[in-house]
Amino acid sequence: MPYITVPEQSHRLYYRDYSSNKSGVPLVLLHGFTLDSRMWFETAEFFKDDYRVILPDARGHGKSDAPETGYSRSHRVEDVVALMDALKIDKAHIVGLSMGGTTAIGLALEHQDRLATMTLVSTGAAGYKLGGKISMIDRLARKSGVEAARKKWMQISLGWYGEGQEALRESLETQMREHSGAIWLDPMRGKYPQETDLEHVHRIAVPTMILVGERDRVFVPIAEALHKRIASSSLTIYKDVGHMLNLETPTRFNETLKVFLNEQR
């Protein structure tokens, strides 16, 4: 299996090198919280003939190792840089959804020279409060354990998907059930240095595309705030779509991303 070991950390990161085209600027797709690289399979299939598509599993997710601690945004950024270094990727198109978008922002702030473009999908932002649901799940994990937290998290996250979306729901549910849950048990959870992206994203100069679903009401204000502060960005709000744009409306998402990437060639 394809793994790299993160220097000085000793944990392994799993990744999929999902492409038939090894030339050009690679495309790195970063998944959401409690999900893994499987959420990007359809997108990877669409782009594999034109790009070297890299799908990493974040630490504690998918097939990557789940260390006891080290689950801050800075740790995720460090892991992506280590992966790019190991694969000899100097620069990449970075696409991140939700947690993956927050990681992408961290990459752009700390290692802007490694990004050819950045695409933020239903993204969070460090320092932007998402309401009480996240802290509620954290408290539940400390009080009642990982499985209780997982059950509640799945109830909240999968409630979007009903009739006609059974396959999408089943895929997300499988990934969530197989998630290690280690992040909830991290003794440093809630104690890492606080970052405030909105105070710093004006420094981002790489071409940036921001996508968000109209029904994803918690994340629309984040998308708008980021667009206002990143001069090199565009913003598209998908009507009647929720959080998982690449899975809810894959054809439109893939075509939109293709146009954006082609414009940067």
Q: What is the mean pLDDT of residues 91-100?
A: 98
Least confident of 13-17, 112-116, 130-134, 208-212: 130-134
- pLDDT band at residue 222, thresholds of 50, 70 and 90? very high
Q: What's the start-to-end Cα distance of the chain, in Å?
A: 32
Orientation of helix 166-178 relative to helix 146-158, angle to 10° = 160
| Cβ atoms of 75 and 98 closer than 8 Å | no
State pLDDT tens for residues 150-185: 999 999 999 889 888 999 999 999 999 999 999 999
Which of the pair, 7 or 88, is modelled with greater confidence? Answer: 88
Q: Tell whether the model's pLDDT for residue 111 goes beyond 90.
A: yes
pLDDT recorded at residue 265: 80
pLDDT recorded at residue 134: 80
Q: Are strands 92-97 and 115-121 parallel, antiparallel or unpaired?
A: parallel
pLDDT recorded at residue 132: 65
- Secondary structure element (H or E) that encloses residue 16, with its range: strand 12-17
Which of the pair, 9 or 65, is modelled with greater confidence? Answer: 65
| Cβ atoms of 80 and 6 closer than 8 Å | no
pLDDT recorded at residue 195: 87
- Calculate the alpha carbon distances from 238 to 61, 76, 223 in Å: 28, 28, 12
| Cβ atoms of 58 and 64 closer than 8 Å | yes
Residue 111 exposure: Cα atoms within 13 Å on the Cβ side: 22
- Candidates 3.40.1000.10, 3.30.420.40, 3.40.50.1820, 3.40.50.720; CATH matching 3-131+193-263: 3.40.50.1820
**Distance from C-alpha of 42 to C-alpha of 44, rounded to nearest angstrom:** 5
- Secondary structure element (H or E) that encloses residue 55, with its range: strand 53-56
Q: How many CB atoms lie within 10 A of CB 206?
A: 20
Q: What angle do CA 76, 97, 124 make, to 5 degrees?
A: 75
pLDDT recorded at residue 23: 76
pLDDT recorded at residue 106: 98
**Paired tokens of 8:** 């000085």
Q: Are strands 115-121 and 233-238 parallel, antiparallel or unpaired?
A: unpaired
| Cβ atoms of 43 and 253 closer than 8 Å | yes
